[in-house]
Amino acid sequence: MIALLQAAKKAKELKNLVDECPLDYFRPSLPQRRVLESEHPITLFRAANQLGKTYVGAAECLYHMKGWSPYKDLSHIKPPIIVWAIVHSWEQSKIIQAKIHSLIGKNEYAEDSPEFQEGRGYRAKNPWFKLKNGSMLFFKTANQGTLGAASGTISYCWVDEPCPQALFGELAARLLRNRGRMLMTMTPIGGGDLTWLKKLTETKPPRVKDIHAPLTVENTTPIDLDGTPLEPLLLQADVDRIADTYLSIDRAARLEGSWDIGVPMDGIIFEHFGEDHISDAPCPTGEYKFSIGIDHGHHPNSQCAILVAISEDDKTIYVLDEYFAAGGEQQKATARRHARAIVAMIKRNGLEPLQINRWTGDRPHGGGKHGGRMSNSLLRSALEHVLDYPANSCPFRIHTAHKPRWSVYYGCQLISEAMVQGRFIVHPKCKRLIRSLSSWTLKKSGAMDRLSEWKHAVDSLRYACVPILDSKYSAPKFSKIPIHRK
């Protein structure tokens, strides 16, 4: 008993030490350590996903703000200094703010530093924080244009994910005035043409030091200060599983941090989809959330709706039914035709419209010269007419699809991951969707073909699945509907 009490006391003391200065207990992997040891004016950490790019960026910012690092001499830095963290969006900045906050002790903040709130970040109009030594870090987004030309110089800058060349040039100029340093952490996807950056890493001597790290067990193993390897964070089986969840469009970039995306010859996006995912077997007994995704369009077979049931237990996606229709010249008549067909689809699957937990529709479509204008408000009004509700009294809402950057890829990856894990079943009557999943391919450039006739069904499927699979999407507070089968 005494031994247990002593162990508990030691554990509490250790926790208190970690809480006082978490950064002192950060143990990087081998490629992360190479980043922390770099004394080059501009360092690029070009790494696969899952390699801790954000954590090493956060650590480097804090080491420079403190003017001390166990990995290199920072005696030339005289705090207080100004540091910038450049992110793609404010939504992304919340994740980065949380990781930086996790490395700061509760007594290391200055008294006038904004409060940090979980899930919301630093409570300031433009997020920032301040350490007791006066050093300050400001979060800025890459789409802020020139970032304020009159805002002075900075001593350190961290750029998370690819940025435009013009922004890179401005940041480099700001740092040059103070002989500051820049760290860029990225997986080279989504930043447009990065040829300019690649060329900077190939000059002699290199203007940008390129530290490249693919996803391996060794590269995810933390190393102690004396160089002793610690417990691996991933096993080879984990690496293989992660590889299977990535889409073929950029698997090489995400696994290897490769400059070359490496598009497969056949270009099929849902390469794991096959006969094993098609079944007319009924859904197992359990609790489900029902969702409908609607894609608007004015070309024939471009207006479509997909009905899915997603298991509350293991998040298995069951695609129950589909509806496709041609466009039309009379907007109300077209919307009512769509509404009648969608209601019929719901009812032939033993459900009622009020049992649908989530309705998600595309953004308004302006149509073309032959008509075909469609929007969620038009469709909602048509549903009121079909279901005999008074005007403006429909008891459910058709949410507009959330379309942030990379939303198409993110939704497709969620679906692909479900396919790999055996959590995706589509009923054989969903013929158009089955053909779309089998036929949607990449363009020769390696980009997703956003004008493909096969994309409409996939969009509807994404709209139906993502809000249920991702807790960031809110749904109407309807009761969960259990399915009981004999």
Q: What is the pLDDT of residues 259-292, one digit of tens each?
A: 865 444 456 788 889 899 999 999 999 999 999 9
**pTM (two decimals):** 0.67
Residues of the chain with pLDDT > 90, as a percent, come to 54
Q: What are the beta bridge partners of residue 289?
A: 310
Q: Is the pLDDT of residue 350 over 90?
A: yes
pLDDT of residue 481: 36
Q: What are phi and psi of 363, to 5 degrees?
A: -65, 160
Phi-psi region of 389 (alpha: psi -120 to 50; beta: other; left: phi over 0): beta
Return the domain boundaries, the chain: 22-256, 275-438+445-483
Which residues lie below 8 Å from residue 80, measured CB to CB, with a gap of 6+? 131, 133, 134, 135, 136
Q: Which residue has the higher pLDDT, 443 or 451?
A: 451
Phi-psi region of 105 (alpha: psi -120 to 50; beta: other; left: phi over 0): beta
Helices 236-245 & 407-420 angle (0-180, nearest 10): 120
Full DSSP string of 50-115? TS-HHHHHHHHHHHHHHT--SSS--TT--SS-EEEEEES-HHHHHHHHHHHHTTS-TTSB-TTSPP
How confident is the prediction for the chain on average, in pLDDT? 84
Residue matched to tokens 């809000």: 467
Q: Strands 424-426, 136-141: parallel, antiparallel or unpaired by DSSP?
A: unpaired
The two three-digit tokens of residue 384, written as one number: 């009121």
Return all residues near 278 (Cβ < 8 A) that are at least 6 apart: 425, 426, 427, 428, 434
Structural fold of domain 275-438+445-483: Nucleotidyltransferase; domain 5 (3.30.420)
| Placement of tokens 């807790």 in the chain | 471
Output the CA torsion 454→457→462→467 (10° steps): 160
Residues 22-256, CATH architecture: 3-Layer(aba) Sandwich (3.40)
Tell me: the pLDDT tens digits for 374-420? 789 989 999 999 999 998 888 999 999 888 767 888 888 899 889 98
Of the pLDDT bands very low, low, confident and very high (cuts 50, 70, 90), residue 163 is confident
Q: In whole angstroms, what is the distance from residue 172 CA to residue 183 CA?
A: 11
Determine the Cα–Cα distance for residues 22 and 7; give it in Å rounded to an integer.
21
Q: Give pLDDT, residue 484.
A: 38
Residue 284 and residue 321: Cα distance in Å, rounded? Answer: 17
Higher model confidence: residue 443 or residue 101? 101
Across residues 446-450, what is the average pLDDT?
A: 61
What is the per-residue pLDDT across 109-149, written as a single tens digit (0 to 9) for each?
A: 999 999 999 988 999 888 999 999 999 999 998 765 545 54
| CA–CA distances in Å: residue 424 to residues 47, 276, 484 | 30, 9, 20
Looking at residue 483, what is its pLDDT?
38
